[in-house]
Amino acid sequence: MNPAYRKGRVLALLGAILILIVIDHLNSPTFAFNSGQGNVQTALSQKDDSACAPCGAPCPSTRD
């Protein structure tokens, strides 16, 4: 049975996603922190206990 896909397309798509992830990371506070830049807040251990939902939404009762 012939494959239903082209290998080149699969590799190109996955490669493009990896490049985008790397570019995003190189421009992030976490990369700056890892590069020795101090006083940078990263999201690595971020938890918002005051949020009312997993997406960080506030509680309806706190809204004006």
Partner 1 sequence: MSEVAAPTSAIQSPWQVDRFVVVTALVGFALLGGLIWLETAPFMVALFAIGTVLGIALYHGAFGFTAGWRNLVVHKRGAGMRAQLLLFGVTSIVMVPLLYSGQPGLIGAVAPVGTSLVVGSFMFGLGMQLGGGCGSGTLFTVGAGNLRMIITLVFFIIGTVLGSIHLPWWLDQPGFDPVPLVASFGVTGAIVLQLVGLLLIARWVSRIERKAHGQVASDELLWKQKGQGFWRTLVTGRWPFTWAILILAAGNILTLAIGGAPWSITFAFNVWGAKALQAVGVDMGQFEFWQWEYPAMALKDSLLTNIPSVMNFGLLLGAMLAAGLANRFNEASRNKLQGRPFLAAVVGGLLLGYGARLGFGCNIGALFSGIGSASLHAWIWFACAFGGSYIGIRLRPWFRLPN
Residue type, 19: I
- Judged by CB under 8 A, the chain residues 28 through 57 that form the site for partner 1 are 28-31, 34, 41-44, 46-57
By the 8 A CB rule, do 57 and 51 touch? Answer: yes
CA atoms within a 13 Å half-sphere pointing along the CA-CB vector of 7: 1
Taking the complex as a whole, the smallest distance from the CB of residue 25 to partner 1 amounts, in Å, to: 4
Taking the complex as a whole, the smallest distance from the CB of residue 60 to partner 1 amounts, in Å, to: 5
Can residue 4 be called a binding residue for partner 1 (CB under 8 A)? yes
Size of the site for partner 1 (CB under 8 A): 38
